[in-house]
């Protein structure tokens, strides 16, 4: 049986990845400080399937803390990901993406494990080209309100790449684009939970700015399949992949889709645009298609319907 260590595995995306790994025969050790995750996302697992450790990866886990002799793969996902949460946890976000990333890399070095770095489309900042290929260096405010996340992730990429260059770590960097689905927290402030909750409560959907900014939404099972392909395929060390859905839409258009799928008539309320909110975001996934054999399969209609069903029952 293979062993995976997942930091941030009690969170939204991490817990779906843990499910996928267990389904595919992995024993999974999860390290999470529960800043934005919850063990409720991993209910029902026995310790021989999923070992749950409440621990902050910014502290290096010594052998008496982490009862693990070996790991085949380490997936570093620990970080707040919602702009509302990473503003609230700004210094923690910088620390987990810098010190936390180095600690996870040290573990990968110790165990000779493959290393998957969960990065983000935010490394592109407010992109000046669209769609964004992996080769684009980005357009980022280094000290603005989103810098704790954007620059934290950029530092993490630089650190991981140096561990790859200097110590031969078998590294894959994945940049996720606006992942959504069940287990998102209804109050996390991102556009998907906000609009779905507002539609369910028959309230106006809150559009920030003029709503002409674009995003590309990827359903969580697609995103997790992309991570899984990057975990199991060989000969990818040092490679960077965009993992997202290239179907780009404006926030106004997204509000229309949410209202339609939620079965409500669209009512909107315009609010000020947060600082440094990117004007556009769309992944070029040519590389993931060709090298990982991966592309998203779930339509926005299907993904949103499942998200509505989840929010209705919680």
Active site amino acids: 149
Shortest Å, Cβ 133 to ligand UDP:
19
Q: How many amino acids of this chain bind ligand UDP (CB under 6 A)? A: 14
Residue of the chain from 130, 141, 206, 286 that contacts ligand UDP (CB under 6 A): 206
Is 305 within 8 Å of 261 (Cβ atoms)? yes
- Does residue 216 touch ligand UDP according to CB under 6 A? no
Q: What is the DSSP letter of 272?
A: P
- Does residue 76 touch ligand UDP according to CB under 6 A? no
Q: Which residues of 283-301 are buried (b: 16+ CB within 10 A; e: fewer)?
A: bbbebbeeebebebebebe
**Rounded (10°) angle between helices 147-167 and 90-111:** 20
CB nearer to ligand UDP: give 191 or 292.
191
Segment interacting with ligand UDP (CB under 6 A) among 54-62, 208-216, 234-242, 288-296: 208-216
d(CA 140, CA 142): 6
CB atoms within 10 A of CB 211: 17
- Does residue 130 touch ligand UDP according to CB under 6 A? no
Shortest Å, Cβ 217 to ligand UDP:
9
d(CA 303, CA 218): 8
245-304 residues near ligand UDP, rule: CB under 6 A? 251, 273-274, 277
Number of H helices, E strands in the chain: 9, 13
CB nearer to ligand UDP: give 216 or 229.
216
Phi/psi for 180 (5° steps) reads: -145, 165
182-201 residues near ligand UDP, rule: CB under 6 A? 190-191, 194
- Does residue 125 touch ligand UDP according to CB under 6 A? no
CB nearer to ligand UDP: give 18 or 252.
252
User: Which of 304, 307, 310, 290 has the alpha carbon at shortest distance from 249?
Assistant: 304
Segment interacting with ligand UDP (CB under 6 A) among 5-13, 57-65, 109-117, 204-212: 204-212
Shortest Å, Cβ 239 to ligand UDP:
24
Q: What is the DSSP letter of 274?
A: P
d(CA 280, CA 128): 9
Shortest Å, Cβ 177 to ligand UDP:
8
- Does residue 83 touch ligand UDP according to CB under 6 A? yes
List interacting residues with ligand UDP (CB under 6 A): 83, 178, 190-191, 194, 206-208, 213, 215, 251, 273-274, 277
């Amino acid at each position: 049986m293979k062993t995976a260590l997942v930091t941030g595995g009690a969170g939204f995306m991490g817990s779906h990845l843990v499910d996928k790994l267990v389904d595919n025969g992995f024993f999974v050790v999860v390290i999470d400080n529960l800043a934005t995750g919850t063990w409720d996302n991993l209910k029902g697992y026995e310790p021989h399937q999923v070992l749950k450790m409440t621990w902050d990866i910014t502290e290096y886990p010594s052998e008496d803390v982490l009862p693990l002799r070996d790991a085949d793969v380490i997936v570093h996902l620990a970080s707040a990901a919602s702009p509302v949460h990473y503003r609230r946890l700004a210094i923690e976000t910088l620390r987990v993406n810098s010190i936390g990333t180095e600690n996870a890399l040290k573990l990968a070095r110790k165990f000779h494990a493959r290393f998957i770095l969960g990065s983000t489309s935010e490394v592109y900042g407010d992109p000046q080209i669209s769609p964004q290929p992996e080769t684009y260096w980005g357009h980022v405010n280094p000290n603005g309100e989103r810098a704790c996340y954007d620059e934290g992730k950029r530092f993490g990429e630089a650190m991981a790449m140096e561990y790859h260059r200097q110590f031969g770590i078998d590294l894959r960097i994945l940049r996720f684009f606006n992942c959504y689905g069940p287990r998102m927290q209804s109050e996390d402030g991102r556009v998907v939970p906000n609009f779905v909750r507002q539609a369910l409560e028959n309230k106006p959907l809150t559009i920030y700015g003029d709503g002409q900014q674009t995003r590309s939404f990827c359903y969580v099972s697609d995103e997790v399949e992309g991570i899984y392909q990057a975990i199991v395929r060989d000969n990818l060390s040092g490679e960077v992949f965009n993992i997202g859905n290239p179907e780009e839409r404006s926030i106004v258009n997204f509000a229309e889709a949410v209202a339609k799928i939620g079965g409500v008539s669209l009512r909107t309320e315009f609010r000020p645009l947060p600082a440094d909110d990117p004007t556009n975001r769309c992944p070029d996934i040519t590389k993931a298609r060709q090298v990982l054999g991966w592309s998203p399969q779930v339509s926005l209609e299907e993904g949103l319907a499942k998200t509505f069903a989840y929010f209705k029952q919680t």
